[in-house]
Amino acid sequence: MKILVTAFESFGGQTMNPAQEAVGRLPLRVEGADISRVTLPVAFGRDGEVLVQEIGRHDPDVCLCVGQAGGRAQVTPEFVGINYMLARIPDNEGARPAGIPVVEGGPAAYFTTLPVHAMVARMRERGVPASVSYSAGTFCCNEVLYTALHAAATAYPRMRAGFIHVPFAPEQVERGGSDLPSMPVDTMVEALTIAIETCVAIRQGDVVSTSSGTES
């Protein structure tokens, strides 16, 4: 089994991206699966191009993309990617799309094909704060999630794909003098390893607990 794991470079004035740090620390083999690690640019359009090129090069069974979600306190596997880009800040090349589709004429949204509820259940069992997220935002993270799922739907039907957000690392918060939540990178590595183990163990469908939904 081959798993492609991607992360982004730093952006938004930050000197590090905890997703990139965590992905870089992943072992090259997890539960018998071969792990390939790739860093994507934070650049609308080009990030998706690089991702699709890497998918074509590695031909993975699973594409797991990882990004930073500053302000979140938990590791959050994403449930849905939407065909919409709206940037609050410019990307690393100065682009700031406002309300345009990721793929012109593409479906409004794609649901992840990874077992995100099972991932969260297993992370919690091992003491990692985690929850399923139902919004990946409208920046490059969502764009890459949608791009991966669109590639699977149109060109790589064997591939499953999804996205996981991680919080700030403690050093980012300390450097910025804020009180935003953070998580040690080692805990993120553990969470991503659990996510990969779950993808290996659960190859179709998902496990949904009765505590996974929301009422508002």
Question: For the domain that residue 51 is a member of, what is the CATH number?
Answer: 3.40.630.20
Residue 211 lies in a domain: no
Q: What are the tens digits of pLDDT across the range 56-95?
A: 999 999 999 999 999 999 999 999 999 999 999 999 999 9
> Which pTM was predicted?
0.94
Asked if residue 212 belongs to a domain, the reply is no
Q: Is the pLDDT of residue 207 over 80?
A: no
Residue 205's pLDDT band (cuts 50, 70, 90): low
Confidence of residue 175 (pLDDT cuts 50, 70, 90): confident
In a domain, 213, yes or no: no
More confident residue, 165 or 177: 165
Percent of the chain predicted with pLDDT > 70: 94
- Catalytic residue positions, numbered: 78, 141, 165
Number of domains in the chain: 1
pLDDT at 177 over 90: no
Structural domain span for residue 33: 2-201
- Looking at the domain assignment, is residue 54 inside a domain? yes
Q: Is residue 207 part of a domain?
A: no
Q: Is residue 182 part of a domain?
A: yes
Residue 206 in domain: no
3-class SS letters over the chain: CEEEEEEECCCCCCCCCHHHHHHHCCCCEECCEEEEEEEECCCCCHHHHHHHHHHHHHCCCEEEEEEECCCCCCEEEECEEECCEECCCCCCCCCCCEEECCCCCCCCEEECCCCHHHHHHHHHHCCCCECCECCCCCCHHHHHHHHHHHHHHHCCCCCEEEEEEECECHHHHHHHCCCCCECCHHHHHHHHHHHHHHHHHCCCCCCCCCCCCCCC
pLDDT value at 149 more than 80:
yes
In tens, the pLDDT along 9-65 reads: 999 888 899 999 999 999 999 999 999 999 999 999 999 999 999 999 999 999 999
pLDDT(215) > 80: no
For residue 36, being part of any structural domain is answered with yes
